[in-house]
Amino acid sequence: MKNFYLPEAAKIIEVVREAPNVKWFKVRFVNKKIQQNFHFWHGQFAMVGLPGYDEAPFDICSNPLRSTEYIEFTIRKVGRLTSRLVQLQKGDLLWIRGPFGRGWPSLFKLPKKNLLVVGGGCGFVPLRSVIEEAAEQLSSERQLQVFYGCRNTEELLFENRYKDWQKKGVKLNVIFSEEKPRNKTVYGAPCSYGLVTKLFDEVEIIKNASAFLCGPPVMFKFVLKKLKEKKFADQDIYLSLERKMDCGIGICQHCACGEIYICKDGPVFNYAEIKNIPNIF
């Protein structure tokens, strides 16, 4: 039986500097059997740690269809552990427990055929695994629209993936909140200036869609208002929430919010489930 308390060593096989304090890591478990049997669901997280430092939750941002080959994380330097993690190089080890939590629902089980993904800042990280997987499954019947709000060009995440996503049919729009873009496109994606909510007025929204959201708490309030204006039902909206976590498996209470635990009942919730919980965002 799998022991969720036991961290497994993983080797870094690629590192990319995404933004001034953000690095993307591709890793593979040292034990080949563990990698071959590793499966996660988009939107799930893992506890990543370093002996002598700490461990903390990080979203798995790779394509779940490649989970038996490698996994990817995108880490922002904010404190003790993350300052050390972003210094790691190709060939270094880190330790992983998981995957944990409830992720985004299966794209094939959603009552609506199409998907609108809205991400703000680092909230774009857990949405990347959805985009990577959905982009491989798009057809003339099933469309994916992505709105990504970011501060400026320097902070842009995953720009080396935009052309590939768009080639596969993803409709991607980027919007900068702090910098007027010099061109109308950024890495092939239409780009404008303002908050991510402005895209709801600038761009035609795909019909018959569910919405997946992740971003800073203030973003949820305003994006939800726009979705309501566009007649999205509560049941068709899913959000990924973040809280400080310790155990990641519903034991320590660090992430408790009323009757729910963000770590095991979430981090992804249907809006109808949580909309009446006070201070949930």
Ligand X SMILES: Cc1cc2nc3c(=O)[nH]c(=O)nc-3n(C[C@H](O)[C@H](O)[C@H](O)COP(=O)(O)OP(=O)(O)OC[C@H]3O[C@@H](n4cnc5c(N)ncnc54)[C@H](O)[C@@H]3O)c2cc1C
Binding site for ligand FES (CB under 6 A): 245-248, 250-255, 261, 263
Round to whole Å and give the CA distance between 178 and 181.
9
Partner that binds at residue 82, options ligand X, ligand FES, none, CB closer than 5 to 8 Å by kind: ligand X
Given 7, 43, 49, 57, the residue binding ligand X (CB under 6 A):
57
Which residues neighbour 105 within 8 Å (Cβ) at sequence distance 6 or greater? 238, 268, 270
CB 14 within 8 A of CB 25: yes
246 vs 273, which CB is nearer to ligand FES?
246
Partner that binds at residue 161, options ligand X, ligand FES, none, CB closer than 5 to 8 Å by kind: none
76 vs 226, which CB is nearer to ligand X?
76
Q: Does 267 bind ligand X (CB under 6 A)?
A: yes
Partner that binds at residue 253, options ligand FES, ligand X, none, CB closer than 5 to 8 Å by kind: ligand FES
105 vs 250, which CB is nearer to ligand FES?
250
Identity of the residue numbered 21: N
169 vs 250, which CB is nearer to ligand FES?
250
Partner that binds at residue 239, options ligand X, ligand FES, none, CB closer than 5 to 8 Å by kind: none
Q: Does 45 bind ligand X (CB under 6 A)?
A: yes
Closest chain position to ligand X (CB): 79
